[in-house]
Amino acid sequence: MNSTKDSLFSNHEDIKKLLEIAYELNDIEKIGAVLGWDQETYMPKGGITGRANQLSTLAGIHHEKLTSDRLINAIDRASMTLGEANVYDRSLVRELRRIYDQAVKLPVEFVKRQTEVFSRADQSWQEAKEKSDFRLFADDLKEIVELVRKQAEYFGFTDSPYDALLDIYEPGLTSRKAAEIFKQVKVITGNILEKIEKSEVTINQDFLKRTGLSKKKQWDFGIDILKVMEFDFERGRQDESAHPFSTNFHPHDVRVTTRFTDPFFTSSLFGTIHEGGHGIYEQNVDERLARTVLCEGASLGIHESQSRFWENYVGRSLSFWALCYPELRKTFKRRLKNVSVNDFWRAINAVNPSYTRVEADEVTYNLHVLLRFEIEKDLIEGKIEVEDLPEIWNAKMKEYLGIVPPNDELGVLQDIHWSGGAFGYFPTYTMGNLYAAQMYYTIREKIPGMDAYIAEGNVKFITEFLIKNIYRYGKTFMPDEIILRLTGESLNPEYFEKYLEEKYSKVYKW
């Protein structure tokens, strides 16, 4: 029933029994995803109470199935027969055990309290952000930090409670490893920024900032770009939402969203490319993994490596705009009349420190993540207090980016993550950037002439390479394994340095 093609999983009775439960679990999760997608796109405001109840009932059913004896017995039985198993069987067992363990470690009362506090905090964060007043969010955040610490205890850790949280989002990542990575990234970024400061090149971005662009034209151009990227509209669609995101119900039904930003139209354009990158990944997971826990990206970091790869390594390259700029210029004739493709490419790659992470350029982006990593770790380890956050935030902004946000809205309150208890999530953004750089050099080595292919509109070969080496496996391999199998070494931030040097020496001419 799952697929017309042969199964990737072995024919063993215990695996088949395990799959039966895995399919049900995944179906329930995907039903929730449909409801969630609708909530963010088309649901009228009045639907929120009904929707919250529906989602909460569904979550209860999911939790019950996930923590059932039926599942753990099936996992245990399948584990005993793994001698005859293939790589998909093993990964299925590994991932199901992982989500089972996470679910049973948290008492039901604790999960209920989490849900209550998060939904309250979502409101107070929004209000605090609107009024740019951290104090309106501080009490809820204090409670969240307590809850998150408790969660780390339930999950267990050896060195730092923050390890337990990192592992939720990027399996295998520890604070120690992350600290080493960020130390390197800090030095790399500092070196590049120093060179940019010394550069005599000034970049004109004014034409990106004027208001009054037609929304329809932006939409149509975005759709064309998604087609260039080989996003399949037979198996996916794009809609509008307040915050761009991507989600999937099946490899044959992947949703991405975009928003329109006026005046800075390129931020919605690159948002489209970014979500398109996430979407292409999900569309190309082998359909025979559908309805199982393996049918999704390997981790948040690996997922982000793909969105960033498309957004930056392809989407902000000169060869990509050699291909797409004539069409863009035709679409926005008046605005781009006197702007050459080189001017445009420089403008979309200009480096300016920004208050917010989402607006950051490729060079300063990771400093925003570094700042959050340090703050989160100290908060969870009890070294700093919630009420001191605005001050600490601004001091770190000053130190790392040389600017201080004028208010909390553009500072400590800018991101939604903490209101939902997502501590340990931010580092995956930097992991994604670093993975992407390392993959980029492998792809260039394996496909000489890559830039020329892009300029000719032959982007397919990149997608095919990524499908063959990453996408089709879904969650079959762990993040470390993926990067090792693909590039021949473990994560190495030096590739990111090489990339920045190569690119920005051209943008800023040194």
Find the angle CA(500)-CA(410)-CA(387) to the nearest 5 degrees.
Answer: 115
Alpha helices in 299-426 (DSSP H): 300-308, 318-331, 333-336, 341-347, 365-380, 389-401
User: Least separation, in Å, of the C-beta of 302 and Co ion?
Assistant: 11
For 291, the enclosing helix (H) or strand (E) is none
Residue closest to Co ion when measured from CB atoms: 307
- Contact characters 403-422, Co ion, x per CB under 5 A: --------------------
User: Least separation, in Å, of the C-beta of 369 and Co ion?
Assistant: 13
Q: At what angle do helices 48-66 and 87-105 cross, to 10 degrees?
A: 110
User: Least separation, in Å, of the C-beta of 128 and Co ion?
Assistant: 24
For residue 234, what is the DSSP state? T
CA of 96: how far to CAs of 79, 213, 462, in Å? 11, 48, 32
How many Cα atoms are found within 13 Å in the side-chain-facing hemisphere of 176?
5
User: Least separation, in Å, of the C-beta of 278 and Co ion?
Assistant: 6
Task: Assign 206 to helix, strand or coil.
Answer: helix
Stretch binding Co ion (CB under 5 A), from 114-122, 126-134, 135-143, 301-309? 301-309
Cis peptide bond upstream of 251, omega within 30: no
User: Least separation, in Å, of the C-beta of 437 and Co ion?
Assistant: 16
- Integer Cα distance of 284 and 91 in angstroms: 18
Stretch binding Co ion (CB under 5 A), from 168-176, 306-314, 370-378, 405-413? 306-314
Among 175, 247, 258, 307, binds Co ion (CB under 5 A): 307
User: Least separation, in Å, of the C-beta of 299 and Co ion?
Assistant: 12
Minimum CB distance to Co ion smaller for 246 or for 349: 246
Non-local (6+) Cβ contacts of 297 within 8 A are 278, 281, 282, 285, 303, 306, 474, 475
User: Is-catalytic flag, 40?
Assistant: no
- Integer Cα distance of 384 and 2 in angstroms: 51
Active-site residue, from 29, 95, 143, 275: 275
- Integer Cα distance of 171 and 33 in angstroms: 22
Minimum CB distance to Co ion smaller for 9 or for 270: 270
Interface with Co ion (CB under 5 A), residue total: 1
Minimum CB distance to Co ion smaller for 248 or for 307: 307
Please list the active-site residues. Answer: 275
The residues binding Co ion (CB under 5 A) are 307
